[in-house]
Amino acid sequence: MKLGASALAGASSGSSRLVKGCPCYREFGDEKVCLNNDDVLPIISISVDPSFFAESKSPEELLKFKSSRNDMCYLLVFLDETDDKIYCVSQGQRIRINKCDVKSSDVLDALQFVTSTEQSSDGVVCSDCLYKYLIMNTEVFADRLNETERGEIIAAYVKNLAVKMAMDLEETAEEAVLEEGVDPIELVENHIRDLMKQRSEWASRIDDMQKEGASEELIELMEHYKLLARLETVFLFQVITLSQAPDQVVSLGILKFMVEVAGRVVRLNNEIREKSHKVVETDGIPDQVQQLFEIHSDKRKRTEHRFSNLLRALSQIRT
């Protein structure tokens, strides 16, 4: 199919293009996040007419339009065909997924499969469609599991585990949820929203404690809890991706990435446990922070063993 001007705007050089939409942009109701660099960052998005940047012929020239806010998204990516990379216009960064630079040629190929019905009213390309194409059809996640019973079991295990984690967070009995016919992925998305709120709460408390002159050990412990929420969020975003692929064609690259994240979660939990003992013994913990630790410590313990089990299962994958 031919691409309409609303989806793709060519720069005058012919070697670079602007695309309305981004593979790293995701929405959860009114909440919007960016997945660039394998992170999950809450953002504010605005739709900007590509013609405003039409005279820019390189990523360097676009830097003058970089937003002063790190949570601002223009919903625009710059495809530089000279180096076969794509760039976020609002942040001036390369777009990376699974530690790999996304290729402009892959995005151009992906756009051939984005129909007019997969664009919003203002012409923004379906970001989910771009993301799915990239992870299933490009080098971003190049290897795939063979159609074997082991691969199907592992994929099904990961999906089931994520749903259980979400149920734990919601403190809802698994049987009751299943009987009510609740979509498991909806539970995962709810879990992600809660984790994002936790991360914001930790950031606010860390700022308060720094202003009060809290010890470095206490601040570091709080930063660890904040990082834990981020890692769990990244993991669950990949679970959603995994759930959208048939078990027999699950990308091996996705599972490799999830092994790495699960391993970091397990190691971070161990560090939190050690630092908690040290802070209590040396500095003590203010009451308002202690209450927060108690709440999140319970949640951490409920999910820690699940990540440990997951890591053991995924580590059996041979690459």
The pLDDT tens digits of the residues spanning 123-182 come to 466 787 777 777 766 666 655 544 455 556 556 666 666 566 555 555 544 444 445 566
Asked if 155 and 313 count as a contact pair (C-beta separation under 8 A), the reply is no
Which of 78-82, 237-241, 269-273 bottoms out in mean pLDDT, i.e. has the lowest?
A: 237-241
Highest mean pLDDT of the ranges 48-62, 71-85, 160-174: 71-85
List the chain domain ranges: 8-141, 149-314
Nearest by Cα to 265 from 227, 314, 212: 227
pLDDT of residue 13 exceeding 60? no
Distance CA 207, CA 96 (A): 29
pLDDT of residue 32: 86
pTM above 0.85, yes or no: no
Distance CA 105, CA 79 (A): 8
pLDDT of residue 197 exceeding 60? yes
Asked if 38 and 97 count as a contact pair (C-beta separation under 8 A), the reply is yes
